[in-house]
Structure formats: structure tokens, C-alpha cells
Structure 1
Amino acid sequence: MSDVSADGGPDIPRSVLTELTRQLPEVAERCVAAIIDEVPSYARALRGEMADTIERSVQVALGGFLRMAAGSARGARSTPMRPALDGAYALGRGEARSGRSMNSLLAAYRVGARVAWREMAATTVDAGVDARNLGRFAELVFAYIDGLSAASVSGHADELAASGRVQERRRERLAAALIAGQGEEELLILARRAKWSPPVHLTAVLLPEPEAGAVLTRLGSRCLRAADEQGESGEPEIATLLVPDADGPGRVHLLRTLRSQGAYVGPARPWVRVSESHGRARRAHDLALAGGRSSPVDTELHLPELVLRADGTAYADLRERALEPLADLTPATIARLSETLGSWLLHQGRRDAVAADLHVHAQTVRYRMGQIRELFGDRLDDPDRVLELVLALGCENASPA
């Protein structure tokens, strides 16, 4: 008999392999007992029916190894390992579904490999297998266990990835339903499926998609992210986040978190009405209220603009009618007199306050208002016309810097 098989594996007599196969049930039982004793996570998990299932799994794994060893002894270049690898892969997925890390399973593999090798080595030594073949046999045992461990790690990772994607899709569907304003009963069902506990309030935030990942990490796992929306041509996609309990001090924290982001922040609303918050943030975005600034736009500070510009064509008509007396002037003069009139209306005619606002001398204000009175005449004494002028000009003067 040669020292090793043709492919470099151990040369184990068929009679020894037959005896090892006969001993499989006892070896599997000892492996499970050792795992229960040495791996704390399995102390209770592998009792009763579960223990029987694991014993059968160990027998399948060891049986697969012995078939591989027999093939190696015959010089076979490849021996089917797929059933054992499939079983190990499924075991890894099961660990992930049970909420356990791979640490316990890998420890169980090490314990099982040690016990199995001890039992099989005793049989092979008793059968007179020489030291060199015994060493080759040991290499084969631990290479086989490494293969099973790798398959389990792969199954564990795939299950986590799959379950993570499922949860992500469920949370996206919940976010979409919230934005669409669906009914509370339907939202509660979607929230349960997504394993998401509803907060008291939600706040919608729109921001460029490249910034969303980092912001989401800082805001925490309860923050929902809707499917990204396509931006205008040449612009990045728009991400929508629904942030829990960002009212009061929470809003201050949210704005600080978004400090350097080109974000639009809607108002805090009861969670089932976050569609209102999203609608306002969307309008602020569409109106480009950021004005090129990178700091976040707090829509609560832009209510006049949002109200006045909600109907763009109506606002344009209002401005055209209210400012008609200025129409024949040069653009520079229109801008100067419009600025002065807007400040005068907002400061209720207090000349010094207008001068301070415009950084000009009070006499300059007096001169300009003289021009304006000539152009507008008694319109400045008509409450309805004054209201139109306030709406036409006040928003621009009142906008935050």
C-alpha cells in the first residue's frame, strides 16, 4: 500500500472508513454534547428536538467528509461536497434569522472538529494507520471544517443582506405612504411590517442625494428615507428624509446637523400628517428659496414667501398691477424706488427707520418718497391698494438674510 493517495490525500483502508461510518451516530452525539457544554450560546438552544436535528446535521457533515476521504483514497480529483456545503450555508442563514452572530457557530465548528478528530484518530490509530497518513487525514479534516465554516459565513452574510434589503424596501414603502398621505390604519400596518415605532411628530427634509447617507447616519436608525427623486437636468437626485420628533429643541439639533447641507426643512407635523411637511419642503425647494446658500432652509422662516409665491402667476399679476406706476421708469430707478417703498410700508412710514434699513440719509428717504407720492397719488391712502403693495414688495424686504 502506498503512503499517500494519487492526489496527495491520505491512504485510508476501506475497512477503516467503513468503521468510521458505523461510528457516525456516536461521534455526532459526542460532538453535540461538547458544543452544548463549551459554547454558552447553545446551552439551551440545542436541547430536545433541536439537539436531534443538530445531531443529524453533524452526521450529514461527517458523512460528507468520509465520502470525500474515500474519494481521496481512490485518487478521485473531485468528490461531491455540495450537500454538506449547502447544509452549512443554510445553518449560517438560520443563525442570522435567529439574531445571532457567527461567533457561536464558528466556535461550535471548532469544538465539533476537535471532538470528531479525537474520535476518528483513535479508530485510525487502532487500525495501524501510519503517522504520515494520519497527518494527511488531519489536514483533510480541518480543511473540510474550514470549507463548512466559510459556507456558513457566506449564508449568514447573505441572510443579513437579504433581510436588510427587505427591511429597507419596507421602510421605503412606509415613507412613500406617509408622503402620499395615506390613512392611519394603512400606515400602522406598514409601520408594523417595517418594524418601525411611530413617533409623535415627523419632519420632512429634502436634500441632495450625495449628502443623504452621512446625514442619515447622524440622525439615527428611526429616520426614514424615501426613494430618491430625480432632480432637474444636470442636478443630483433629491433625497427625502422623514425625521422623528424634530420639533422644539429637536429642530435646533436637526438644523445643526444639516448646517452645511443644501437642505429644505419642512415643519414638524403629527406623524400621520407628515405629507404636509413634505409638501412645504418641496415647494420651498421648487421655489429655490436657498438662493444659492449651502445652509439649510428652515421653511418656518419663509412663510410669507411660500404664501405669496404659492401661485406664481397670480403673484406676478399682483406685482404688475400694484407697481404699474413705476412701469415707465428705468430698471435702476424702479429697483431704487421699489426698495424704498417696500421699506416705508413695512416700517409704517417712520423715516429714520427706513433710512437705517436702507443705509441712506433720512433726507434721501424724504426725496424718494416725494417721487413715489407723485407716481402713486392717492393709492397710498387706499387700504386695498396699500395691501397689494405690501404683498408685492413686503416679502422681498422681509426675507431672512
Structure 2
Amino acid sequence: MTNPLPDVKAFRLSPEVVAPLRERLPHVATQTIDAIMTEVPAYAEAFAGDLGAKIERAVRTALGAFLGLVSRPHGPDPQSPLGPALQAAYALGRGEARNGRSLDALLGAYRVGARVSWHELAAISVATGQPAAIIAHFAELVFAYIDELSAASVAGHADELASSGRARIRHLEQLTQALLAGETEHTIIAAAQRADWSPPQTLTAVLVPEHAARTVVDLLDRRTLSLSEAGPDFSVLLVPDADGSRAAMLGLLRGQTAVVGPARPWLRVKASYDRAVRTMEIPGLPTGNVVNTEDHLAALVLTADPQALADLRAKVLEPLSGDSSAEKLTETLRSWLRHQGRREEVAAELFVHPQTVRYRMTRLRELYGDRLQDPEWISALFIALSVPAA
């Protein structure tokens, strides 16, 4: 079992030990930087570019902070050099995350830096006649210090990823809201840029129950936009470029409860969303499965103005208003129109005898008179009775 590294904040070295190390600090920093450039390729270009001077200064500062830390007097010291060093390491970790890099290169640089700086500092200590016990103890301090810096950078990297992730989620939600609200093209494009989201050719609105949104979105294109609580008890997903593979998307959704709108140019996806919402409102719509709005275009047209449809139904059914069998007569008239007067087919659909159909149609002709021969009235009746009353 290995012994844990010491708490670097709790140890001190005498000025006699530290003085020669501080004198040779520029040389140690140069050797450390050269080794990092050689052994961590990801940093070679950074050192050669505009960041080179900043990184070199950071290395010198880290080494200087370490020597200042281990040589300060005993007793309370609120101005400990470790604080600024940890802040710098934390900022370095955040910077790596902002630049889209993992921590592999940075932690590799820490390991190389620890090894090389220890080698150089140990050589200086040996040359100045320091005893082996002091040199061994000094090694522990170096690696404990690097562990502190590494942990600070890991924390900075994680915090930046979490922060940027939350910010991007907010930007994606704002983009979705702008699309569904039908904002101006300029506003929507600006929102897409803030969200770092590459626009597709088309978007398709898919409405799903709130509780199922997370499950469904995992089945779809990773660029899919989503908005919870877009309406009463449902969430909306905006699926990119599903027009060319609509059948495949519907297949992926099989077994889910969803209403799938048409594909529309991405800036005009509000039209897809509006159609999906209107499809949900169609009376008698099946529930518990995938509803393709393209299968309900006639019903959508007929219900485009619900009040107008209700007024039309009231007008064309007015002759039946005083009859005690109005409901059965209406049902028979609807079937008669659908089957173009074929009595046997009407009887089969209604599960009645053909003579019953004949009797009811006689009664309907009495109530409507010549209007059942008028093409305009026939059209009005067909439209009014094509969608059952809500």
C-alpha cells in the first residue's frame, strides 16, 4: 500500500534549501517547457503561436508559486501563493473546455512538467549538498503540488462543460420557441447562430406526450430540437430532414404516441406544428399510436373553420329537426351519400334490412323534397356529414 502524498500547504523548506532553487528557476522553467513541447504534441503548436508567451509565463508562475509556498514562514498566512496558482489552474481547465479539448493533453503536460521540474530541482539540490532525506521529501512536495493543480484544472474543465452545456440548452430552447412563434427570418437565424445549431433543409414537427419526450427524442436525429410543455400535456420535437425518409421516421416511432406533421422548410416549420396541433383536435382521432397528418388532410380541410362547419351542418339538417327519428335518419343519409345510393351497401354498413333503408330514404325525401336532387345541396350535405359532430 502506497503512502498518500503530503499536504503541500502544511510543509516548509528552509531558505537555505530554496535559495539555489529560486536562482535557477528560469533554467528549470525552460527545460520544463521544452519537454512539454516535445512529449505533448497538442501543445507544440500552442507554444509556437500567440499563446506561447502566456503558457511560458504560466509555467514560470506555477514553479515560482511552488517555491514561495514551501519556503514561507510558519504560522497563519492568508496570502498563501497556492490560492492564485489554483485559480490559474482552474482557469486553464475552463479554457481547454471552451476550446473544445479534453483534459488529456493538459494532464499529460502536468505529468511531464512534474517529472522534468523535479529532475532539474533535484539536480540543483544535489549540487548544493542537500541531504538525501531533504531531496526525497522535496519530491513528495513537488508531486503533491502537481496533484493540487491537476485537481483544480479538472474542476475548471467540468464546470465549464456544465456551464456551456446549460447555456446551449437555453439557446436551443430559445431557437425552438422562435421557430414555433413564427419569428422573422433574421431573428431565427440569429438564434440558430447563438445555439451553434446548423440549419437543415427541412424540419418536421412531432407532438408527443410530455412523459415520453425524452424516450422519443433518443430515437431521432441528434440535431432534433425539443420544447417541453409546448401545449397542454404535450411536448414538440422538430426533426431535421425527415421528408426524404418519412416512412423510416414513422417506423422508428412505431409503438409511441405521436402526431407527425408535414416536412416544411426549416424557417417555416410553424406550419408543420400548426397542422399537427389541428390534427390532434380532429373528433374521433385514434389515440395511443402514431398519427400521420398526411392521412387526415380531408378532415383537416373540413374542420378548418369549425364554426362554419357547425353552421353548415345545422342548415342542411334543419329539415330533420322536428322528426323523432332524426338521429337514425341522419346516419342513413350519411351512409347513402357515401355509397352513392346503393341500398344493399347502406344496409350492410348500418346492420339493418334493405327495406329499413328504403323506408328511411322515403321519409328523407318527404322531408327534403327536391333538394335531394340538387347537386349543390348534395355537396353541402356530403361536406356537413363527412366529419361526425364533436
TM-score normalised by length of structure 2:
0.86
Q: Aligned partners of 1:8, 1:345: CA distance in 2, in Å?
A: 92
For residue 141 of structure 2, what is the amino acid of its counterpart? L
Is 1:347 the counterpart of 2:342? The answer is no
Match of 2:313 among 316, 319, 330: 319
Output aligned runs, 1:212-231, within 5 Å: 212-226=213-227, 228-229=229-230, 231=232
2:304 matched to 1:310?
A: yes
- In 2, the alpha carbon distance for the partners of 1:289 and 1:132 equals 87
CA shift in 2, pair 1:275/1:230, >3 Å: closer
Q: 1:26 to 1:305 in 2, by over 3 A?
A: same
Does residue 300 in structure 1 map to residue 286 in structure 2?
no
Q: Is the 8 A contact 2:319 2:367 kept in 1?
A: yes
**Structure 1, unaligned runs of 5 or more:** none
TM-superposed CA distance for 1:258, in Å, is 2.7
Q: Does 1:242 align with 2:242?
A: no
Divergent runs of 4+, >6 A = 5-8
Residue aligned with 1:225, SS: strand
Amino acid at match of 1:245: D
Between 1:117-126 and 1:35-44, the stretch displaced more is: 117-126
The answer (yes or no) to whether the contact 2:9–2:69 under 8 Å persists in 1 is no
Partner of 1:13: 14
**Deviations 1:2-44, CA, capped at 9 Å, x for gaps:** xxx9999555221221222222222122111111111122232
Q: Which amino acid aligns with 1:349?
A: G
CA-to-aligned-CA distance 1:364-389 (integer Å, 9 cap, x gap): 54444344434444332222322222
Give the TM-score normalised by the residue count of structure 1.
Answer: 0.84
Matches within 5 A, 1:1-400: 9-71=10-72, 74=74, 79-226=80-227, 228-229=229-230, 231=232, 236=233, 238-248=234-244, 250-285=245-280, 287=281, 291=285, 293-328=287-322, 334-360=326-352, 362-396=354-388
5+ long unaligned stretches in structure 2:
1-5
Equivalent residues of 1:10, 1:133 under 8 A apart? no
Displacement of 1:52: 2.4
Q: Identity percentage over the alignment?
A: 51
Superposed CA deviations along residues 134-166 of structure 1, whole A, max 9, x for unmatched, are 444333322221221122122222222333333
Checking the alignment, whether the CA contact within 8 Å between 1:347 and 1:353 is kept in structure 2 is yes
The amino acid across from 1:74 in the alignment is H
1:58-117 per-position Cα deviation (integer Å, ceiling 9, x unaligned): 11112222222224x736587342211111111112112222111111111111111112
1-side partners of 2:235 and 2:39: how far apart? 49
Whether the 8 Å CA contact 1:202–1:244 is kept in 2: the answer is yes
Cα deviation, residue 290, structure 1:
7.3
Task: Give yes or no for contact 1:379–1:385 (8 Å, CA) kept in 2.
Answer: yes
**Residue 244 (structure 1) shift:** 1.7
CA RMSD of aligned residues (A): 3.0
